[in-house]
Amino acid sequence: MAPSQRAQLLRKEAGDWLRKLREKRGLSQRELADKVGAEIYTLIAQLEHGRGRISPDRYLVWADALEIERREFVRRLTYYYDPGIYKIVFQDHARPKRLKVPF
Protein backbone atom coordinates (compact mmCIF):
# COMPACT_ATOMS: atom_id res chain seq x y z
CA MET A 1 0.00 0.00 0.00
CA ALA A 2 1.34 3.43 -0.94
CA PRO A 3 2.02 5.84 1.95
CA SER A 4 -0.66 8.24 0.73
CA GLN A 5 -3.23 5.42 0.67
CA ARG A 6 -2.25 4.35 4.17
CA ALA A 7 -2.52 7.94 5.41
CA GLN A 8 -6.01 8.24 3.92
CA LEU A 9 -7.07 4.93 5.45
CA LEU A 10 -5.83 6.03 8.87
CA ARG A 11 -7.65 9.36 8.58
CA LYS A 12 -10.83 7.46 7.71
CA GLU A 13 -10.35 5.31 10.81
CA ALA A 14 -9.82 8.46 12.86
CA GLY A 15 -13.03 9.89 11.45
CA ASP A 16 -14.97 6.75 12.30
CA TRP A 17 -13.58 6.86 15.85
CA LEU A 18 -14.47 10.55 16.25
CA ARG A 19 -18.01 9.90 14.97
CA LYS A 20 -18.49 7.03 17.41
CA LEU A 21 -17.29 9.24 20.29
CA ARG A 22 -19.66 12.03 19.24
CA GLU A 23 -22.61 9.67 18.90
CA LYS A 24 -21.83 8.01 22.23
CA ARG A 25 -22.13 11.45 23.82
CA GLY A 26 -25.42 12.10 22.05
CA LEU A 27 -24.07 15.16 20.26
CA SER A 28 -25.08 16.36 16.82
CA GLN A 29 -22.37 17.59 14.51
CA ARG A 30 -23.55 21.16 15.13
CA GLU A 31 -23.42 20.70 18.92
CA LEU A 32 -19.89 19.31 18.74
CA ALA A 33 -18.85 22.18 16.46
CA ASP A 34 -20.13 24.62 19.08
CA LYS A 35 -18.26 22.81 21.86
CA VAL A 36 -14.95 22.85 20.00
CA GLY A 37 -15.35 26.38 18.67
CA ALA A 38 -15.61 25.42 15.01
CA GLU A 39 -17.20 28.24 13.03
CA ILE A 40 -18.55 25.89 10.38
CA TYR A 41 -20.25 22.74 11.64
CA THR A 42 -19.59 20.93 8.37
CA LEU A 43 -15.97 20.67 9.56
CA ILE A 44 -17.18 17.85 11.80
CA ALA A 45 -18.61 15.94 8.83
CA GLN A 46 -15.40 16.44 6.88
CA LEU A 47 -13.27 15.10 9.73
CA GLU A 48 -15.62 12.16 10.26
CA HIS A 49 -15.19 11.24 6.59
CA GLY A 50 -11.40 11.30 6.82
CA ARG A 51 -10.92 14.66 5.17
CA GLY A 52 -8.70 16.98 7.16
CA ARG A 53 -7.16 16.76 10.59
CA ILE A 54 -7.75 18.28 13.96
CA SER A 55 -5.02 20.81 14.67
CA PRO A 56 -2.79 19.66 17.57
CA ASP A 57 -3.39 22.93 19.39
CA ARG A 58 -7.09 21.95 19.57
CA TYR A 59 -6.66 18.36 20.83
CA LEU A 60 -7.46 19.16 24.46
CA VAL A 61 -10.56 21.17 23.55
CA TRP A 62 -11.80 18.23 21.50
CA ALA A 63 -10.98 15.73 24.25
CA ASP A 64 -12.97 17.75 26.76
CA ALA A 65 -15.89 18.21 24.35
CA LEU A 66 -16.01 14.46 23.69
CA GLU A 67 -15.50 13.67 27.38
CA ILE A 68 -12.54 11.40 26.82
CA GLU A 69 -9.36 11.36 28.85
CA ARG A 70 -6.99 13.85 27.26
CA ARG A 71 -3.96 11.58 27.13
CA GLU A 72 -5.93 8.79 25.43
CA PHE A 73 -7.37 11.23 22.90
CA VAL A 74 -3.94 12.59 21.98
CA ARG A 75 -2.44 9.08 21.83
CA ARG A 76 -5.11 7.84 19.42
CA LEU A 77 -5.00 10.87 17.17
CA THR A 78 -1.22 10.61 17.04
CA TYR A 79 -1.60 7.01 15.87
CA TYR A 80 -4.05 7.96 13.14
CA TYR A 81 -2.48 11.24 12.04
CA ASP A 82 1.24 10.66 12.65
CA PRO A 83 2.02 6.94 12.86
CA GLY A 84 5.78 7.53 12.68
CA ILE A 85 5.68 9.78 15.74
CA TYR A 86 3.30 7.37 17.46
CA LYS A 87 5.79 4.56 16.97
CA ILE A 88 8.62 6.61 18.51
CA VAL A 89 6.65 7.97 21.46
CA PHE A 90 4.36 5.05 22.21
CA GLN A 91 6.43 2.09 21.02
CA ASP A 92 5.73 0.23 24.27
CA HIS A 93 1.96 0.53 23.76
CA ALA A 94 -0.11 -1.71 21.57
CA ARG A 95 -1.92 -0.26 18.57
CA PRO A 96 -5.28 1.17 19.63
CA LYS A 97 -8.07 -1.29 19.13
CA ARG A 98 -9.78 -0.53 15.85
CA LEU A 99 -12.78 1.76 16.22
CA LYS A 100 -13.54 0.72 19.77
CA VAL A 101 -14.79 3.55 21.95
CA PRO A 102 -13.02 3.22 25.31
CA PHE A 103 -16.02 3.50 27.66
- State the pLDDT confidence band at 103, using cuts at 50, 70 and 90: very low
Residue 25: what residue type? R
pLDDT (tens digit per residue) in 48-97: 999 999 999 999 999 999 999 999 999 999 999 999 999 888 876 656 66
* pTM of this prediction exceeds 0.75: yes
Pick the CATH number of 3-89 from 1.10.3720.10, 3.20.19.10, 3.40.366.30, 1.10.260.40: 1.10.260.40
Long-range contacts of 72-79 (CB under 8 A, 24+ apart): 72/102, 76/14, 76/17, 77/14, 79/10
Give me the half-sphere count of Cα atoms (radius 13 Å) on the Cβ side of residue 43.
Answer: 15
